[in-house]
């Protein structure tokens, strides 16, 4: 199990890289994250529901199909204090932070069940922690770090992020606050995101080992191509500022979801993806892409609070194009009705009015993988849907996609405004190339091959930095 001294210590990519390292050695490897908190989700290949998008990347690295058991508990934030709870792929209700703190023990049986299922079919399970085990105020009932490690009897390697500074103190301090029972699970530490001459940190490694008794597993130096792999957390979204001839502006909604839709576009040399933070106007651009959101009505209000609705109207008047995906699609319509109180008190609100469609939110959640073609170009597409609600209206008669399940999405009469529930469509090279060609940009990127090659380079990098045999030995040792 890889735990970190802090959030964003690089645990997700470390697990992905180690999955690829060991899979290349011929082992059957599965990733596992007991509890994840993210609105960036994927539909699992086993058809049983949704998991964190980071675990989908890790499964790709491990060269195994995705399963809901890779991430049995997924928390999808809907507000600053509340989240939807997904258990083994399916919604299990909503909880605020205080109530969740008292119910985590109820989720441990499902977590252990999923782990046991993976352990039964794998030579090796590489586990990702969440946050930091040093948050001792959350230890009671905790199932994401030492709570899981203790329940499952797994060894832990602690990762420290040196790029943040204070890594020696964070590692030594974590050792200091861990209880003896928890501390015995830690079998070593590693340093992540080191820049410069590794030899300069030899004394630092010695200091950590002296104060903790933990051996060093190595120092992972900075990997520039990490940005080519999908980011797990919205706080890491920076776009791809450059001199691309096509400029795409993406408003950063407060509950932005499934933002990996942007990854293939961000890797295109001719495309400049601009993430627009709250408080900044939408810039002059060729295309505004309104992404998914976990709370459509609340984020529609947030969109208006930023004044982005005014900027969007000006963009459309200038002849600019707009795409709304999932929640962004719902926002583009004339109204959004929540008569069942799915997102809050029952209400109907006005949308942005750029598509002649209406959305009715429902308590039934759609989670499925889909395939089909883009109607205008005929190019194949595949992706997945994760949403509540149905959208109908005159503009839906001019669908954007033709799926094997039927027509999908909507297109305005002038063809410049598009909406769709399908995530992941831009990963399809033929479609993306046709889409960009229509906007005047030539593309030759093979996105899937780029991700695979980056994972291999990342695995090579880890092999050069870490004591891989020692890590495998730790994994074989009972706790």
Which residues carry out catalysis?
326, 423
- Kindly list the distances between the CA atom of residue 463 and the CA atoms of 122, 202, 300, 468, in Å, as whole numbers in the listed order: 21, 19, 46, 6
d(CA 471, CA 462): 12
Distance CA 42, CA 98 (A): 27
- 75 touches 83 (CB < 8 A): yes
CA dist 227 to 66, 162, 236, 409, 458, Å? 22, 18, 10, 30, 11
Q: How far apart are CA 249 and CA 312, in angstroms?
A: 10
Q: Residue 145: which residues within 8 A CB-CB, separation 6 or more? A: 3, 129, 130, 131, 132, 133
**Interacting residues of 327 by C-beta distance below 8 A, sequence separation 6+:** 253, 257, 290, 291, 292, 293, 294, 295, 296, 299, 387
Q: Which CA distances in Å does 423 have to 245, 248, 385, 428?
A: 25, 17, 6, 11
Burial class for 162, CB neighbours closer than 10 Å (0-12, 13-18, 19+): buried
Place of tokens 């069942």: 340
């Amino acid at each position: 199990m890889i735990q970190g001294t802090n959030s964003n210590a690089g645990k997700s990519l470390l697990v992905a890289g180690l999955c690829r390292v060991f899979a290349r050695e011929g082992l059957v490897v599965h990733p596992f994250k007991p509890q994840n908190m993210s609105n960036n989700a994927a539909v699992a290949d086993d058809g049983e529901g949704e998991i964190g998008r980071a675990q989908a990347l890790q499964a790709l690295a491990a060269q195994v199909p995705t399963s809901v058991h890779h991430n049995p508990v997924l928390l999808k934030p809907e507000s600053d204090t509340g989240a939807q709870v997904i258990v083994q792929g399916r919604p299990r209700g909503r909880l605020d932070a205080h109530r969740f703190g008292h119910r985590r023990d109820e989720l441990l049986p499902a977590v252990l069940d999923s782990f046991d299922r993976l352990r039964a079919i794998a030579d090796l399970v590489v586990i990702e922690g969440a946050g930091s085990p040093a948050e001792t105020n959350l230890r009671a009932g905790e199932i994401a770090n030492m709570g899981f490690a203790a329940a499952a009897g797994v060894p832990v390697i602690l990762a420290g992020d040196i790029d943040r500074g204070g890594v020696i103190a964070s590692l030594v301090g974590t050792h200091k606050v861990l209880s003896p029972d928890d501390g015995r699970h830690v079998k070593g530490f590693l340093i992540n995101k080191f820049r410069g001459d590794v030899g300069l940190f030899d004394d630092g490694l010695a200091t950590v080992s002296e104060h903790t008794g933990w051996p060093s597993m190595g120092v992972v130096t900075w990997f520039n191509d990490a940005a080519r792999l999908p980011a797990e957390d919205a706080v890491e979204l920076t776009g791809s500022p450059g001199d691309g001839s096509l400029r795409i502006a993406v408003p950063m909604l407060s509950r932005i979801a499934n933002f990996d839709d942007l990854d293939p576009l961000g890797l295109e040399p001719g495309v400049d993806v601009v993430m627009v933070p709250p408080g900044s106007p939408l810039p002059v651009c060729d295309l505004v892409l309104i992404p998914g959101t976990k709370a459509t009505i609340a984020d529609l209000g947030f969109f208006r609070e930023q004044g982005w609705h005014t900027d969007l109207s000006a963009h459309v008047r200038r002849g600019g194009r707009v795409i709304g995906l999932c929640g962004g699609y719902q926002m583009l319509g004339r109204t959004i009705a929540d008569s069942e109180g799915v997102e809050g008190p029952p209400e109907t609100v006005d949308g942005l009015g750029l598509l002649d469609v209406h959305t009715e939110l429902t308590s039934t959640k759609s989670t499925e993988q889909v395939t089909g073609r883009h109607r205008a170009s005929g190019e194949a597409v595949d992706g997945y849907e994760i949403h509540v609600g149905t959208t109908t209206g005159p503009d839906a008669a001019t669908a954007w996609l033709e799926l094997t399940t039927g027509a999908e999405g909507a297109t305005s009469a002038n063809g410049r405004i598009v909406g769709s529930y399908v995530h992941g469509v831009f990963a399809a090279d033929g479609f993306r190339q046709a889409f960009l060609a229509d906007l005047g940009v030539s593309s030759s990127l093979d996105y899937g091959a780029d991700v695979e090659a980056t994972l291999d380079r990342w695995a090579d990098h880890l092999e050069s930095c870490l004591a891989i045999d020692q890590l495998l030995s730790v994994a074989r040792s009972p706790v």
